[in-house]
Amino acid sequence: MQKTLDDFIDLLEKLILLFDDLADVEQTKLEAATNKDIDTLSDCMKEEQVFLLQFRGLDKKRETIQKDLGFENMKFSEIISHIKDKQYKQEFEELYNTLKETMDYYQQIHNNAKSIIEINLIGIDKALEVLNAKPSTAPQSGITYSPDGQIHNNNKTNFTNKII
């Protein structure tokens, strides 16, 4: 089936909606990372995977449409200059600008969420280093812990008496 500019415009509209939805999920992820809400963070990552699969499908469709229209391997900005019909050209340009803004917004939120998560991971690493560096606070019943967290039971009783 031959693809038309209407198909391409429909695809751009779907991409905009997808990135709007992704931005919403990313905003929730940012809030969850800030609040250290692991469950919500995990749910967001699952949702992202679904959206990324949808994106892959739309991207394959985009490649097919571009090829059918003779715009293969062109950037959206290059395609605009090749559209002859003024109405299509204007609509395509408006949708392209909206898509670009939506993707930029998504990327900004994504980078913020990524930074918060990285900061939290650094904090976790530091806390683990402190925990591993502390001497054992186990009761003196012969139980000790090795650096890898293994429990060792040393039931040796040592008596020292200077009178002997």
Is 72 strand, coil or helix?
Answer: coil
What pLDDT was estimated at residue 123? 85
44: exposed, middle or buried (C-beta count within 10 Å: 0-12, 13-18, 19+)?
A: buried
User: Is residue 163 in some structural domain?
Assistant: no
User: Is residue 157 in some structural domain?
Assistant: no
User: Is residue 17 in some structural domain?
Assistant: yes
For residue range 107-130, list pLDDT tens digits in order: 999 999 999 999 988 888 888 888
One-letter amino acid at 76 equals F
User: Is residue 105 in some structural domain?
Assistant: yes
- Check pLDDT > 90 for residue 150: no
Of the two residues 153 and 90, the one the predictor is more confident about is 90
What pLDDT was estimated at residue 108? 96
User: Is residue 111 in some structural domain?
Assistant: yes
What pLDDT was estimated at residue 164? 47
For residue range 4-44, list pLDDT tens digits in order: 899 999 999 999 999 999 999 999 999 999 998 999 999 99
User: What is the domain-level CATH number for residue 117?
Assistant: 1.20.58
- DSSP conformation class of 7: H
CB 66 within 8 A of CB 75: no
- Check pLDDT > 60 for residue 161: no
User: Is residue 107 in some structural domain?
Assistant: yes
pTM value > 0.85: no
**Counted domains in the chain:** 1
Domain containing residue 128: 5-137
